[in-house]
Structure 1
Amino acid sequence: MSEQYEYVPHRLLRKRVRDIASGTEGELMAVINENVSGTAIEHWTELAYIRGASGREFTTVVSNVEPA
Structure 2
Amino acid sequence: MSEQYEYQPHRLLRKRVQDIASGVEGELMAVITEDVSDTGIERWADLAYIRDGSGREFTTTVDNVQPV
TM-score tier, shorter chain, comes to: over 0.9
Using the size of structure 1 for normalisation, the TM-score is 0.95
Q: Deviations over 1:15-62 (max 9, x none)?
A: 000000000000000000001122342100000000000000000000
**Separation of aligned partners in 1, 2:62 and 2:29:** 12
Matches within 5 A, 1:13-52: 13-52=13-52
Matching residue of 2:7: 7
Say which is worse superposed, 42-51 or 30-39, in terms of deviation: 30-39
Query: Superposition RMSD on alpha carbons, in Å?
Result: 0.8
Using the size of structure 2 for normalisation, the TM-score is 0.95
Q: How many residue pairs were aligned?
A: 68
Write out the 4+ residue segments of structure 1 that deviate beyond 6 Å after TM superposition: none
Structure 1: any 5+ residue segments left out of the alignment?
none
